[in-house]
Amino acid sequence: RPSVFQCAIDGPAASGKSSCAAAVARTLGFAYLDSGALFRCVTLKHLRRGTESTDWHDFTAATDLRLTALPPLTGTTETGPVRPRVFMDGEDVTAAIRTPAVNSHVSAIAAIPDVRTALLAKKRALGGGIDGTLPVPGGYAGVVMDGRDIGSTVFPHAQLKVYLTAAARVRAERRVREAGGDLDLIEQELVKRDALDMARAVSPLRKADDAVELDTSAMAQDEVVATIVGWVRDRMRSGI
Ligand code: CDP
Ligand code: CDP
Ligand code: CDP
């Protein structure tokens, strides 16, 4: 049985993965890892240099990627979850990886097999190895990782796999509330990116066979977090 508790949260764009995963991790005192940020960094680096790569594996593997740790939530008075800061080759790119340019190119970069292979190694190294038997950097007892292929590919033995969904309109409304923009355009962008992520040959977005699906269209973030925390605690108690 794996020694590190692995919780995989996958789902389409803006379904609430990162905000909920961060809060779940902080509540449990686990590490939180935003795998989408890694793909966004590689995309940003590629867009900046503007030329085609000849070796995507080397290009990706040679990029130094760091996510800051989030402090555990200890009381009930703290405000909502914050995102980790993201550093690429020593530069703080937390804001730069969330621009429309990165949004519109990231799915194409994430479909390149050599990019995925290089980041798969990175994701596993940060999350206890393929089966949770390796230590997690920082010494955490568990890890929550969100993305598209965490339950299906990265951590196939994860003790809990959640597939988080919400209606496209609801997801677009959440993004607009968070960052502004045109609702119809944002919905189109999300739907287009989901289609690309589901259609790629290597580890596409899909619900793992043993994942629990949670439709959050009518759920507040706090309810989603409480539900997932409850599932983790059930599994820890029953020794799964
Ligand atoms: O936050 P949002 O849902 O918009 O996206 P993200 O989680 O930051 O992921 C950005 C993109 O990275 C996705 O659209 C996928 O193309 C890619 N990705 C992936 O292929 N595999 C993952 N495990 C995570 C992200
Ligand atoms: O990581 P992902 O792209 O799946 O989504 P997110 O960035 O965590 O969530 C997108 C927005 O939806 C954020 O502003 C969240 O606060 C919000 N959200 C919500 O309003 N209700 C939920 N049940 C989950 C997230
Ligand atoms: O203390 P320990 O050597 O176990 O590990 P660490 O210094 O906490 O982290 C080792 C590496 O893991 C860092 O250099 C980061 O690249 C990565 N890391 C990360 O990306 N995000 C985290 N939340 C924690 C560590």
Q: What is the pLDDT at residue 81?
A: 55
Residue 148 beta carbon below 6 angstroms from any ligand 2 atom: no
* Reported ipTM: 0.87
- The mean per-residue pLDDT over the stretch 8-30 comes to 96
Q: What is the pLDDT at residue 27?
A: 94
Residue with tokens 């993305």: 147
Q: For helices 100-110 and 113-126, what crossing angle results, to 10°?
A: 100
- The mean per-residue pLDDT over the stretch 46-69 comes to 92
Atom of ligand 2 nearest to the CA of 15: 4
Protein residue with its CA nearest to atom 18 in ligand 2: 16
Distance CA(224)–CA(238), nearest Å, equals 21
- The mean per-residue pLDDT over the stretch 160-178 comes to 97
* Per-residue pLDDT reduced to its tens digit, 121-153: 999 999 999 999 999 999 999 999 999 999 999
Atom of ligand 2 nearest to the CA of 220: 23
For the chain, the average pLDDT equals 94
| Closest ligand (CA of 41) | 1
Q: What is the pLDDT at residue 40?
A: 98
Band of the pLDDT at 2, cuts 50, 70, 90? low
Are 37 and 238 within 8 A, CB to CB? Answer: no
The span from the first CA to the last CA of the chain, in angstroms, equals: 8
Distance CA(198)–CA(148), nearest Å, equals 9
Strands 91-92 and 86-88 come out as antiparallel
Write down the CATH number for the domain with range 5-237.
3.40.50.300
Band of the pLDDT at 220, cuts 50, 70, 90? very high
Whether 199 has a pLDDT exceeding 80, the answer reads: yes
Q: What is the pLDDT at residue 128?
A: 97
- The mean per-residue pLDDT over the stretch 4-12 comes to 98
* Per-residue pLDDT reduced to its tens digit, 69-114: 998 887 665 665 578 999 999 999 999 999 999 999 999 999 999 9
State in Å: Cα 208 to ligand 1 middle.
16
